[in-house]
Structure 1
Amino acid sequence: MADIHVFRAHGLGLARAREIAFSWAEEVEQRYGMACTIHEGEDSDTVEFVRSGVKGSLEVTGESFEMEATLGMLLGAFKANIESEIERGLDALLAKEAAASAAEPSKAAKRRRS
Structure 2
Amino acid sequence: MSQIDIRHSHSLSPARARQAVQEVADKLSERFEFQLRWEGDVLHFSRGGVDGAIELLPRQLRVTARLGFLMSAFKGRIEEEIRRVLDERFG
- The normalised TM-score by structure 2 is 0.90
Deviation at 1:62, TM superposition (A): 3.2
**Structure 2 match to 1:69:** 65
| Count of aligned residue pairs for this structure pair | 91
1:59 to 55, 59, 63: 55
**Structure 2 match to 1:84:** 80
User: Aligned ranges for residues 1-114 of structure 1 at < 5 Å?
Assistant: 1-40=1-40, 45-95=41-91
- After TM superposition, where is structure 1 displaced by more than 4 Å over at least 4 residues in a row? none
Unaligned 5+ runs, structure 2: none
Deviation at 1:31, TM superposition (A): 2.8
| Higher Rg | 1
Higher relative contact order (CA 8 A, sep 6+): 2
- The normalised TM-score by structure 1 is 0.73
Unaligned 5+ runs, structure 1: 96-114
Counterpart Cα distance in 1 of 2:6 and 2:71: 17
Write out per-residue CA displacement over residues 21-53 of structure 1, whole angstroms, 9 at most, x where no aligned residue.
12222223333211111123xxxx100010011
Query: SS at 1:73's partner residue?
Result: coil
Identity value in percent: 34
Between Structure 1 and Structure 2, the one with more helix by share is 1
Deviation at 1:79, TM superposition (A): 1.2
Counterpart Cα distance in 1 of 2:77 and 2:28: 16
Counterpart Cα distance in 2 of 1:37 and 1:82: 19
